[in-house]
Homo-oligomer: A and B are copies of this chain.
Amino acid sequence: MNQPHIKKMAVIGVGLIGGSFSRALKSAGAVGQVAGFDRDPENLAEAVRLGVVDTAASTLAEVVQGADLVFIAVPVGSVAAVVAQVAPFLPPGCIVTDGGSVKAEVVQACEPLMPDGTFFVGGHPIAGTEHSGAAAAFAELYQGRRCILTPTATTSAEALELVHRLWLATGCRVECMDALTHDRVFAAVSHLPHMVAYALVHAVAGSAEEEDSILAFSAGGFRDFTRIASSDPAMWRDIALMNRGALLDMLDRYSVEFNTLREHVANGDGLWLEEFFHTSKRLRDGIA
């Protein structure tokens, strides 16, 4: 596909995801001017100072003025509210896309909000670090990663193609997927593991209150294993709320496995345990 070019882009939420999208497209020469909006004025000022975006807008109405493309990178629970607020101010032909980690509810809520002649495309770049804010953004975040787009039956083919080409320009591979499938897949490979890690940190910290040396020894494998429990709390609150159905399915599926394992530990069933661990190892080693 040819290199796309956007004359003016608006980035709403200039954090790690939004800021890195801006930096990547600037460095690829795929965008002219980038206007930013952030509900945290200090973060927005920092984004301008660091060159993450070119200009700072003080309202949502202002940031989308004259924009060909609007990228919404706020916690996923706020995406639809942002779309509702910017909708009256979108220039004709404007394409709005997002970077939220949950898709079905977002896409369903946003599509009907779009004025005639403007277009919504749901997206989810699979990238991140445990850092957040404009200062954490960097142009290479998406290189070699994947971005999933979740078009529906009514998505404009031209809008989809442009968003697809922009993500390619950041260095991503791009895949299209049904939004409900997306949400089931990420409930399994990402949302469930985060919930497990959050609960694990609470359990170990609780036991550390009774046994001082637990904290001293948690610096090794435990620290690596629980790195994902340092992710942004507001972002994960929204993910848990917005993907509740698929997440509950996975939480319950996991509970069955965990409780079965617990029973066999309690019964001291060595043969069963070895087989269970062996299957885990085989399954996990089989992951590409």
Name which residue of chain B comes closest to A148, CB basis: B217
**Residues of A within 8 A of B (CB-CB), count:** 89
Point out the residue from B177, B198, B203, B283 that lies within 8 Å of A205, measured CB to CB.
Answer: B283
CB of A112 within 8 Å of the partner chain: no
Q: Which of A184-224 contact B (CB under 8 A)?
A: 184-186, 188-190, 192-193, 195-208, 211, 213-224
What's the minimum C-beta distance from A260 to chain B, rounded to whole angstroms? 8
A253 CB within 8 Å of chain B: yes
Q: Does A278 count as interface, using CB distance less than 8 angstroms? A: yes
Interface centre among A205, A234, A256 (most CB of B within 10 A): A205
Taking a contact as CB atoms under 8 Å apart, the answer to whether B237 and A270 are in contact is yes
Are A221 and B211 closer than 8 Å at their CB atoms?
no
B265 touches A248 (CB 8 A): yes
Question: A237: which B residues are within 8 A, CB to CB?
Answer: 270, 273-274, 277
Say yes or no: A189 contacts B221, CB within 8 Å: yes
